[in-house]
């Protein structure tokens, strides 16, 4: 995939001439990077400055070996040795994105490593930390309307250690399916860590009564409940400039209470309280990378996020078009930055944005996904669903069945008007706009910005398609808030499946 080049070869040569460089640039290995065979015989890049080791394929390793000799090689010299200009451009682009070539890109990456090391540690809580709530004049808000949605997640944690000790010492009442708090806990292993949560039976917490009320709350009061129960559906992400708060839109009560909910700033003390008590707060990784090979400073990323959030959508705006405009803006900025960092003119257009062609897909009506990939995903869902039924987990099995219905809807390319056949009510449209407004900072916090925006677009498309399918199943043609609410619940409880869907997106021909 190539992108328009902002800086032409002649412009590059002019700048070189200004710098009294009379010949084209030589591509070189960055100093401090070593290429060696690993114990398994495969090529390994050892990079002390960035504290990492990267495996390389034979073709990339061959180019890197050539570049590591003497003063490096000009592009034409490299083509002479490798024999194919397109192949050389492809390999150089891949090596540049790994920051192993000498040049402005690697210098920027190393400087940002310093910034990340010398600044405030992103993982640390600070009492003066800014709390940043969902933005806009009508952001998604929340007030509990006791739907019990928080008590039927596939994992009811993770608890802090004080949570675990407090709950395990409780006695429970007649709502609960167990009488001792110590019997109401379960743990899962995640990335080598043991995480604790409330135990589930048939998909719901053992402390949830038939009346939909919590036994821990009823017997011991709100404050005794574990943090994840009190925090739901608030979701936190720590960035260098503050703590972003968003909502898990799986909570069926989030929009029912939209008008009744207190304005966000009134929840500041509550959020600080959760954080001080040990709530789970994932922190973004530093330095930021907008896409592979485009590192960016903290202040530049904060400015970019502000710019992406700046244009608020009207209540009757098309959610997909709004997100397309946001991604357009991101791509323009990222491409411009990437071009400024290129090692030589031959690498112009060598970025590989995960969002490539996504704005067009958001705006038009053509299918997004590879049908074979969707079918394989459905088969996997069916297997997992059968396993959950065998384990007496009917609620999770039903969620997977609904996810599979969403995939059917993607296969049939069900869409809202004007692209498709389904009308949409105002509140349902508002739900889709909420997905964009609510998730933008959260997606940017979790990795490369282009991957986060792709995930967000796929989530939005999936929710739209599933809502259409739920509407169709009732023999109707107008999607309402009831359909979008259920589609939100399925999507926000199925993060790994949404990520898997994002990987089976196809790129239309250029
Ligand atoms: S402890 Fe109470 S609030 Fe928490 S998941 Fe169980 S029933 Fe729900």
Residue 398 C-alpha to ligand 1 middle, in angstroms? 21
Cβ contact 196:234 at 8 Å = no
Instruction: Kindly report the number of other CB atoms within 10 A of residue 145's CB atom.
Output: 15
Task: Give the pLDDT confidence of 390-433 residue by residue, as tens digits.
Answer: 888 888 899 999 999 999 999 999 999 999 999 999 999 999 99
Q: How far is CA 409 from the centre of its chain?
A: 23
Give all domains of the chain, ordered by start, each with its CATH number.
9-118 (3.90.930), 131-277 (no CATH), 288-503 (no CATH)
Report the predicted TM-score, pTM, of the whole model to 2 decimal places. 0.90
pLDDT one digit per residue (tens) for the chain, 510 residues: 333 334 433 334 444 445 555 678 899 999 999 999 988 999 999 999 999 999 999 999 999 999 998 889 999 999 999 989 999 999 999 999 999 999 999 999 999 998 888 765 555 666 789 999 998 888 888 888 777 778 988 899 999 999 999 999 999 999 999 999 999 999 999 888 999 999 998 888 999 998 888 999 999 999 999 999 999 999 999 999 999 999 999 988 777 767 777 889 999 999 999 999 999 999 999 999 999 999 999 999 999 999 999 999 999 999 999 999 999 999 999 999 999 999 999 999 999 999 999 999 999 999 999 999 999 999 999 999 999 888 888 888 999 999 999 999 999 999 999 999 999 999 999 999 999 999 999 988 888 999 999 999 999 999 999 999 999 999 999 999 999 999 999 999 999 999 999 988 876 444
Residue 510 C-alpha to ligand 1 middle, in angstroms? 51
Residue 142 C-alpha to ligand 1 middle, in angstroms? 18
Q: How far is CA 119 from the centre of its chain?
A: 24
- Residues in contact with 226: Cβ distance below 8 Å, sequence separation at least 6, in sequence order: 156, 157, 159, 160, 163, 164, 166, 167, 197, 198
Q: Which residues does ligand 1 sit against, CB inside 6 Å? A: 150-151, 156, 198, 205, 207-208, 214, 216-217, 225, 229
Residue 152 C-alpha to ligand 1 middle, in angstroms? 9
Interatomic CA distance for residues 83 and 346, integer angstroms: 16
Interatomic CA distance for residues 135 and 164, integer angstroms: 34
Residue 206 C-alpha to ligand 1 middle, in angstroms? 8
What is the best residue among 164, 168, 205 to mutate for testing ligand 1's pocket, by most ligand atoms within 8 Å of CB? 205
CA–CA distance from 314 to each of 60, 154, 360 (Å)? 48, 35, 21
Task: Give the pLDDT confidence of 92-144 residue by residue, as tens digits.
Answer: 999 999 999 999 999 999 999 988 887 655 556 667 899 999 988 888 888 88
What is the best residue among 200, 214, 223 to mutate for testing ligand 1's pocket, by most ligand atoms within 8 Å of CB? 214
What is the best residue among 147, 171, 229 to mutate for testing ligand 1's pocket, by most ligand atoms within 8 Å of CB? 229
Residue 196 C-alpha to ligand 1 middle, in angstroms? 13
242-247 sheet: strands from edge to edge: 131-132, 242-247, 234-239
Interatomic CA distance for residues 409 and 406, integer angstroms: 5
Residue 225 C-alpha to ligand 1 middle, in angstroms? 7
What is the best residue among 144, 175, 196, 198 to mutate for testing ligand 1's pocket, by most ligand atoms within 8 Å of CB? 198
- Residue closest via CA to ligand 1's atom 8 equals 151
Question: Is the bond leading into 158 cis (omega within 30 degrees of zero)?
Answer: yes
Residue 169 C-alpha to ligand 1 middle, in angstroms? 16
- Residue closest via CA to ligand 1's atom 3 equals 229
DSSP 319: H
Which ligand 1 atom sits nearest the alpha carbon of residue 206? 6
CA–CA distance from 337 to each of 66, 296, 311, 340, 415 (Å)? 28, 9, 22, 5, 35
Residue 122 is predicted with a pLDDT of 54
Residue 257 is predicted with a pLDDT of 67
Residue 81 C-alpha to ligand 1 middle, in angstroms? 66
- Residue closest via CA to ligand 1's atom 2 equals 214
Cβ contact 46:30 at 8 Å = no
Question: Is the bond leading into 202 cis (omega within 30 degrees of zero)?
Answer: no
What are the two backbone dihedrals, phi and then psi, of residue 356, each rounded to the nearest 5 degrees?
Answer: -50, 130
């Amino acid at each position: 995939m190539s992108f328009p080049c902002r800086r032409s070869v002649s412009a590059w040569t002019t700048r070189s001439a200004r710098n009294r460089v009379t010949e084209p640039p030589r591509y070189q290995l960055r100093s401090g990077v070593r290429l060696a065979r690993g114990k398994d015989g495969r090529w390994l890049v050892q990079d002390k400055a960035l504290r990492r080791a990267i495996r390389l394929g034979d073709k990339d390793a061959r180019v890197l070996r050539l570049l590591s000799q003497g003063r490096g090689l000009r592009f034409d010299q490299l083509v002479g040795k490798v024999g194919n200009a397109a192949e050389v451009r492809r390999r150089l682009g891949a090596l540049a994105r790994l920051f192993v070539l000498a040049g402005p890109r690697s210098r920027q990456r190393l400087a940002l490593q310093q910034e990340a090391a010398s600044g405030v540690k992103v993982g640390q809580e600070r009492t003066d930390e800014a709390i940043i709530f969902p933005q806009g004049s009508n952001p998604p808000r929340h007030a509990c309307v006791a739907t019990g949605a928080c008590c039927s997640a596939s994992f009811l944690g993770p608890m802090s250690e004080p949570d675990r000790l407090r709950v395990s010492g409780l006695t429970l009442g007649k709502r609960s399916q167990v009488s001792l708090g110590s019997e109401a806990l379960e743990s899962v292993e995640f990335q080598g860590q043991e995480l604790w949560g409330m135990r589930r039976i048939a998909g719901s917490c053992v402390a949830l009564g038939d009346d939909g009320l919590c036994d821990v709350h009823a017997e011991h009061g709100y404050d005794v409940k574990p943090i994840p129960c009190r925090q739901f559906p608030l979701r936190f992400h720590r960035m260098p400039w503050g703590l972003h708060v968003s909502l898990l839109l799986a909570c069926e009560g989030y929009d029912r209470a939209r008008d009744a909910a207190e304005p966000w700033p009134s929840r500041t003390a509550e959020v600080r309280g959760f954080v001080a008590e040990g709530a789970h707060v994932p922190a973004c990784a530093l330095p930021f990378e907008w896409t592979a090979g485009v590192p960016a400073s903290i202040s530049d990323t904060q400015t970019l996020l502000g710019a992406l959030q700046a244009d608020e959508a009207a209540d009757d705006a098309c959610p997909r078009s709004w997100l397309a405009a946001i991604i357009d803006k991101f791509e323009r900025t990222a491409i411009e930055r990437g071009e400024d960092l290129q090692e030589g003119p031959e690498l112009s257009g060598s970025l590989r944005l995960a969002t490539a062609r996504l704005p067009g897909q958001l705006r038009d009506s053509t299918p997004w996904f590879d049908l074979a990939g969707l079918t394989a995903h459905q088969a996997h869902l069916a297997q997992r669903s059968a396993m959950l039924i065998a384990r007496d987990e009917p609620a999770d099995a039903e969620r997977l069945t609904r996810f599979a219905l969403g995939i059917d809807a993607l296969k049939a390319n069900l869409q809202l008007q004007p692209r498709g056949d389904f009308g949409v009510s105002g509140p349902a449209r508002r739900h889709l706009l909420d997905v964009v407004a609510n998730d933008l900072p959260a997606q940017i916090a979790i990795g490369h910005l282009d991957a986060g925006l792709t995930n967000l677009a796929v989530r939005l498309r999936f929710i739209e398609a599933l809502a259409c399918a739920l509407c169709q199943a009732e023999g109707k043609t107008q999607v309402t808030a009831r359909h979008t609410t259920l589609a939100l619940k399925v999507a926000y409880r199925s993060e790994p499946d949404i990520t898997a869907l994002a990987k089976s997106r196809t790129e239309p021909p250029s």
